[in-house]
Amino acid sequence: MAETTTPYAGNDLTADLAPGSLITQDGQIQWAGLLIGPGTPFNVDRTGLQGWEDLPEYDSSDADRPTSHGAWPGSRYAKPRKISGTVVLMPDQDAATGAVRALRQALALLDEERWLTVRLHGELLAVRARIAQRVVPADQGFATQGSSKMSIQWLASDPRRYGVNEQSASTTPRSPSPASPGR
């Protein structure tokens, strides 16, 4: 029996790789060491990602006015960001077992957050997140061919999205000022 491999064979799919280091085109998602989207056996369903471009829920410290209508505005703090989507698993017939194993490894329930990076319109944005849910229906297509529509949900405790292009600035030491006359 010939050995089959997938593009992910031998990779540590739970490794926290640099955000966006595997992404080569728009519409791709990198979760730790797994690449999802165009050019992979894991395609994003036409419904896309939910929660990526949305404002996250927030807590408000508005205070009701006891003797008037409305409230006094207070601070608002964003809650964790929930990102979800449907991934269509369509591996080659010979690579189905490897692709399913790769998904199981990459989408395991871990305590540590990993980089979740998305490229849309040439822009790479990333959050630190954990897997919150993975639903893989074990239907006829999955059992016989490894194809399935699976739902994935990530939870980012810090809801802010960060650009992945590192920026740096440098300064020179301040030059000493000349001594004042008369001192």
pLDDT of residue 5: 33
Q: Distances in Å between the alpha carbon of 41 and those of 27, 62, 169?
A: 14, 48, 40
Q: What percent of the chain has pLDDT over 70?
A: 85
- Domain total of the chain: 1
139 falls in which pLDDT band (50, 70, 90)?
A: confident
Residue 132, domain CATH:
2.40.30.200
Sequential DSSP letters for 30-52: EETTEEESTTSSEEEEEEEEESS
Q: How far apart are CA 46 and CA 126, in angstroms?
A: 21
Pick from 83, 113, 89: nearest CA to 102: 89
Report which DSSP code applies to 134. Answer: E
Question: Has residue 7 been placed in a domain?
Answer: no
Determine the structural domain holding residue 132 and report its residue range.
Answer: 29-54+77-163
In the predicted structure, residue 181 carries a pLDDT above the cut 70? no
